[in-house]
Structure 1
Amino acid sequence: MLELINICKTYNQRPVLAALSHRFAPGEFVAIMGESGVGKSTLLNLIAGLDTPDSGEVVVDGAPISALGDDAATRLRRSRMGFVFQAFHVLPHLTLQQNVALPLLLNGQDAGAALAMLDKVGLTGRGGDFPRQLSGGELQRVAIARALVHRPALVLADEPTGNLDPETAAGILDLLRAEIKASGAAAIMVTHSHAAAEKADKTFVLSRSGLTLTPHGR
């Protein structure tokens, strides 16, 4: 459902991604590692259509994102993608239930599934709480619930455990993997953490030469 075709991207006359091509399989949980500045977060932004490559194509569900107008690209992100960020991006003025319900409301779906999703990530009975009442690990659970509640085909995670202690991070990654597999979504996780990458089905290293598969595998 996702293919990168000869993606090139340059910032300030410095090549970040050069002729990058890869096809990601449906239902696969992939980790992408690499040195700082190599273009890992840039790659996620290109896949999401939040940035545009200088050349090449990002193809989602058989359609090049570059062929979509702004409104169509927004609808694609809203309906087919879920996002998990290092900084959580949970809205502080909304309850947990309201935060998780946002993708459902934006997609015209029944918001009642938000409470069930909070149950699945271990936050039963916390729907009326506000983000200020939660720990970092609990906030990331809310972020995972929000990313998956509308059953996206593709989940993009940018350093999802970077702000968490190792024990909490391990639990969050187990949860993320379990929920991704249960929903049948494909997932791409950018991380600096080898422990995080071990939770994925496959791990690639991004470099100037492209994506290289590591020996790791489940």
Structure 2
Amino acid sequence: MLELRKLSKTYGGQQVLAGLDWVFKPGEFVAIMGESGVGKSTLLNLIAGLDRPDPTPHAPIVLDGVAMSALDDDAATRLRREKMGFVFQAFHVLPHLTLEQNVALPLLLNRMALHRAREMLAAVGLGGRGGDYPHQLSGGEMQRVAIARALVHKPALVLADEPTGNLDPDTAHGILMLLRNEIKASGACTIMVTHSHAAAEMADNTLVLTRSGLHIGQGVNRFAQENA
């Protein structure tokens, strides 16, 4: 589904990521942990095509059989729009749009039927509130809107960057339960960067990013094992 092949990234002569190899499977929910500054957000930006990896003889990032490095900016934008969904720590919900309009944005960009926006709002527990505006919501409710927007166009890949970093523990647990349930229902591969061990427990697997590469984390996915 998503393959990393000797993926490296260098900024100003300093190598941030070095030779990462991994295969992410359809429907898999993976948490990526690691110390601050090790390159977790850089990795997400590279996967999303928002940044370019170091040149290699191989295709360093392959999504659904498409080599990202072979795409120009327009083609990368189209692939990102069609194949990916994003959940951010800061929500990035547009304040001047209603909740339904926010969720419908990926549908408009992909020329898909807009009724799914209403369906997704209902799925995340905000049915009947499509005409409300973001200023009427709590932080947890805004993150629910962000999840609905990320999944509304049925992407193959969901990228989540610290999606519960601004939420209290109880709200964060509810958001992660919702995210897990929705991605399992849709079959989207999901990669979540997090500092939180509680968040990582909700994933199927946890990888730890270090200067030497990606490594399988130990003993932090009890929730996924117990609720498989």
Q: TM above 0.5, one fold?
A: yes
Instruction: Report the equivalent of 1:113.
Output: 116
Distance across 2 between alignment mates of 1:55 and 1:211: 20
Distance across 2 between alignment mates of 1:12 and 1:161: 31
Per-residue displacement from partner, 1:159-180 (whole Å, max 9, x unpaired)?
0000000000000000000000
Residue 63 (structure 1) shift? 1.5
Per-residue displacement from partner, 1:189-212 (whole Å, max 9, x unpaired)?
000000000000000100011111
Q: Which runs of 5+ in 2 are unaligned?
A: none
SS of residue matched to 1:55: coil
Residue 72 (structure 1) shift? 1.1
Aligned 1:62-77 pairs, distance under 5 A = 62-77=65-80
The structure richer in strand per residue is 1
Distance across 2 between alignment mates of 1:70 and 1:17: 22
Check the 8 A contact 1:7/1:21 in 2, yes or no.
yes
Residue 99 (structure 1) shift? 0.2
Aligned pair partner of 2:164 in 158, 161, 165:
161
Distance across 2 between alignment mates of 1:38 and 1:108: 38
SS of residue matched to 1:84: strand
Identical aligned pairs, as a percentage? 73
Per-residue displacement from partner, 1:2-33 (whole Å, max 9, x unpaired)?
00010111123221100111111111000000
Residue 55 (structure 1) shift? 2.9
1:8 aligns with 2:8: yes
Aligned pair partner of 1:130 in 127, 133, 145:
133
SS of residue matched to 1:66: helix
Distance across 2 between alignment mates of 1:91 and 1:206: 32
1:152 aligns with 2:155: yes
Per-residue displacement from partner, 1:114-136 (whole Å, max 9, x unpaired)?
01100000001110000001000
Greater Cα offset, 19-28 or 95-104:
19-28
1:26 aligns with 2:26: yes
Residue 215 (structure 1) shift? 2.2
Instruction: Report the equivalent of 1:91.
Output: 94
Instruction: Report the equivalent of 2:213.
Output: 210
RMSD of aligned alpha carbons: 0.8
SS of residue matched to 1:7: strand
Q: Which runs of 5+ in 1 are unaligned?
A: none
SS of residue matched to 2:105: helix
SS of residue matched to 1:32: strand
SS of residue matched to 1:215: coil
- Normalized against structure 2, the TM-score is what? 0.94
Residue 54 (structure 1) shift? 1.1
